[in-house]
Amino acid sequence: METADLDVSSPEGGAEVLARAAAGDRVAFEALVRRWERPLFRFLERMLGCPHLAEEARQTTFVRVLERGASFRGGSASNWIFRVAFRAAVDLRRRERLRRAAPFEEDSGFAADSPAPDETAAREDERERVRGALAAMTEEDRAILWMRIADDRTFADIAATLSIPESTVRLRLVRALGRMRRRLRTSGFGGDRCGATRS
């Protein structure tokens, strides 16, 4: 069977492919990797703040998925895989003792209407403040923030991924955003652009 024939998008299909990959089916494992390599990398890079560490954590995730796939007991394969990735990132962060926030994507080229040097410096200063506020969060709070705002995942999905109650996800997100706002205000950063607490 070709990887294109395997359905990894539906909950049932994802669970079946996960079980087959854990049982040693190479085609099923390739289908899993193709489906999840990019979303996992984006998630891990935001959590770890470094593409090299994100790649290492992604590889660890796929190894653990193979090793532990037989322990999957149904439900959302996506949530289970992201939970494995989250734990891999936390383990790696502890090992590396990395306390940086995820970097913002920078424009690679120079536009004709490039901002003045003082505007560029002000923007970089704002980015540094946001990075500092993110770095002050726990890994789990940063993961909740990333999954809710950048990945647009539901509170129920985040709760299942992190194995915590949905009410805890909502509470932690509100508190994390509140701490972040206070930290940014104290550092002179204005504006309230967060709408992540709406369901």
**Of 152, 190, 148, the residue nearest 172 (C-alpha):** 148
Q: Which of 6-10, 32-36, 156-160, 191-195 has the lowest mean pLDDT?
A: 191-195
* Band of residue 118 on the pLDDT scale cut at 50, 70, 90: low
- For position 191, what pLDDT does the model report? 44
Q: Start-end ranges of CATH 1.10.1740.10 in the chain? A: 3-96
pLDDT tens figures, 144-159: 888 887 777 888 888 8
Q: Start-end ranges of CATH 1.10.10.10 in the chain? A: 121-186
**Of 177, 140, 146, 183, the residue nearest 162 (C-alpha):** 140
Q: Which of 4-18, 32-46, 54-68 has the lowest mean pLDDT?
A: 4-18
Q: Which CATH architecture has domain 3-96?
A: Orthogonal Bundle (1.10)
- For position 12, what pLDDT does the model report? 58
**90-128: buried (b, 16+ CB within 10 Å) or exposed (e) per residue?**
bebbeeeeeeebbeeeeeeeeeeeeeeeeeeeeeeebee
Q: Which of 109-118, 121-130, 134-143, 159-168 has the lowest mean pLDDT?
A: 109-118
**Is the pLDDT confidence value at 107 over 70?**
no
**Of 196, 193, 98, 101, the residue nearest 147 (C-alpha):** 196
pLDDT tens figures, 82-100: 989 998 988 888 777 534 4
- Look at 3 and 96; give whichever has higher pLDDT: 96
- For position 192, what pLDDT does the model report? 40
* Band of residue 67 on the pLDDT scale cut at 50, 70, 90: confident
CATH class belonging to 121-186 = mainly alpha
* Band of residue 61 on the pLDDT scale cut at 50, 70, 90: very high
* Band of residue 121 on the pLDDT scale cut at 50, 70, 90: low
Q: What is the mean pLDDT of residues 180-197?
A: 60
